[in-house]
Amino acid sequence: MGNPALQRKKNNSTILWDIFGRLWAVWGILSFLITFLIIFLPSMLCWLMPEKKGQVYFLTVARLWMNVWLRLIGCPLHIHGREHFTNGKTYVVIFNHNALLDVPLSCPYVPGPNKTIAKSSFTKVPLFGLFYKRGSVLVNRESEKSRQQSYIEMKSVLAKGMHMCLYPEGTRNRTGQPLKPFYDGAFRLAAETGKEIIPCIITGTRKAMPIHKKFYLLPIRLQMFFMAPITVTGKDVKAIKEEAFAVMWKKYVEETT
């Protein structure tokens, strides 16, 4: 049998962390809303600009916002692998997905103008919906017509010289494994457009915002690792997907163990 005193100490520590995590989540939401309201009007100037130039401006504002907010919540972000992006080339950029915190990190820190695939339901949120819409290709996953239209729009984003960012796991990873099985969409997009894929692993968000705990946030160091491009020439969708899955799995395990 274990030591009862040590077990009580462990239980008390867990309770204290749970209380702290929920109080810190309150601060996280408040600081998110306050800083968002500060940058909202300046960010909306992007709608007055041509699409690509406006997207560069929009992402610059979003990155400044995230730089401030992440420091306020004690989650400093470190970026690795920017050198894998070649100026003048556009890529399909894919991310792992462990927490809601992944979403505001991805696009602002990708070198160059880009858009991400995103749920159309978020556009209904006052003010934030307008901000969210600018940086995204919107999709209603329950509508086949919407999925087809979003795929056409993603091709258009790439044709305009912007990167397209996707989460091939589809939804947040609740499995406890490094990755969930990937859907085909990102890899079919890359194969049909001939664009190379740059995988990116995000670490720290799983600990900062555990998926099985509601309304919970901890100050944790976050990192993003962009990896070498995956070529698609001469490969089918299955082969591209398997290659991307293998390199991302390996990198995630290396950086979290």
Q: What is the pLDDT of residues 138-192, one digit of tens each?
A: 998 888 899 999 999 999 999 999 999 999 999 999 998 999 999 999 999 999 9
Taking residue 180's Cβ as centre, other Cβ atoms within 10 Å add up to: 19
Rounded CA separation 52/161 (Å): 8
The sign of the CA dihedral 242, 245, 250, 251 is positive
Closest CA to 45 of 28, 60, 27, 66: 60
Confidence of residue 243 (pLDDT cuts 50, 70, 90): very high
Q: Of 13-17, 25-29, 53-57, give the lowest mean pLDDT range.
A: 13-17
According to DSSP, the β-strands at 114-119 and 136-139 are: parallel
Rounded CA separation 164/139 (Å): 14
What's the mean per-residue pLDDT of the chain? 93
pTM of the model: 0.92
Looking at per-residue pLDDT, the higher value among 253 and 129 belongs to 253
The sign of the CA dihedral 122, 128, 131, 135 is negative
